[in-house]
Amino acid sequence: MLLLHGFTGNPVSIKPLAELLSQRGFAIELPLLPGHGTVPRDLLPFRYADWRAEALAGLNRLRARTQHQIVVGLSMGGTLALDLGTTEKVAGIVTINAQILDRGGVIVKLAPIIEKIVPIAPASAAGLIKNDIKKGGDEKAYDWVAAKAGNSLVRELPQIRARLEQLTSPLLVIYSRDDHSVPTENSKAIPSLVKSSNVTVLELQDSYHVATLDNDLPLIDERVALFAESLTKSS
């Protein structure tokens, strides 16, 4: 399985799920997306295309040692998973609180102007909530965000949605009922945007946005494992 973290985050946010799935016998790829996991300024030169390229490289590494590949993504990682599914042949895709609809708010509308004046800004100003975890904890995400890097994702969302009609792989959509970072409308919209006829939706009752560090982690592990096993057996 290829597991992808979110924007301003790092593998810490999804590592517990990766470890649980590894214990079940699944091969794991857990890449660090460019510009993440160090200091906020390291995000400055990177864009959505760079993160997609690294996600694809991770998928290719997985292909080199496995027969079937499943892509699992949290938040922007879920966006990347969906996007990869439009061009790459994979056994299945799992999204967890993925962003796919356009982000609203005045800050987003003014982003093209702001990025020319302020190259880096507090993550909260961009509507990003750090440690959106019901049980508490630290996802080790950045407190500051590179404006052009963040806007590159926002600008790409309409194109990704348009490509989703090409996605035919089985899909498991997981979302938190109470998410303060990505509105639930995003996950609810995914089934109608894809061409896949095999779509399962799971609503989490006891987690916030970073569900892979929250109370529903055991449930996520179980459902992802069952999803993967059903696909590999059928193949």
User: Mean pLDDT of all residues in the chain?
Assistant: 93
Task: Report the length, in residues, of the chain.
Answer: 235
- The identity of residue 66, as a single letter, is T
- Give the pTM: 0.94
Task: List the domain boundaries for the chain.
Answer: 2-234
In 3D space, the residue among 189, 126, 127, 123 whose CA is nearest the CA of residue 160 turns out to be 189
- 75 a catalytic residue: yes
> How large is the C-alpha radius of gyration of the chain?
16
**Catalytic: which of 13, 83, 169, 209?**
209
Answer whether residue 119 shows pLDDT above 80.
no
> What confidence score (pLDDT) does residue 115 get?
66
| CB 70, CB 95: distance < 8 Å | no
Answer whether residue 110 shows pLDDT above 80.
no
The CATH fold assigned to 2-234 is: Rossmann fold (3.40.50)
Residue range 117-144: mean pLDDT, rounded? 88
Answer whether residue 235 shows pLDDT above 60.
no
pLDDT tens by residue, 177-208:
999 999 999 999 999 999 999 999 999 999 99
- 179 a catalytic residue: yes
**Catalytic: which of 83, 179, 214, 216?**
179
Helices and strands, number each (H, E), in the chain: 7, 7
- 152 a catalytic residue: no
Q: 171's torsion region: left (phi>0), alpha (psi -120 to 50) or beta?
A: beta
pLDDT tens by residue, 138-157:
999 999 999 899 999 999 99
Range of weakest confidence among 83-92, 94-103, 119-128, 137-146: 119-128
| Maximum Cα interatomic distance, the chain, rounded to a whole number of Å | 53
> What confidence score (pLDDT) does residue 121 get?
83
**Catalytic: which of 13, 75, 176, 187?**
75
> What confidence score (pLDDT) does residue 234 get?
62
pLDDT tens by residue, 207-229:
999 999 999 999 999 999 999 99
Answer whether residue 106 shows pLDDT above 50.
no
- The identity of residue 44, as a single letter, is L
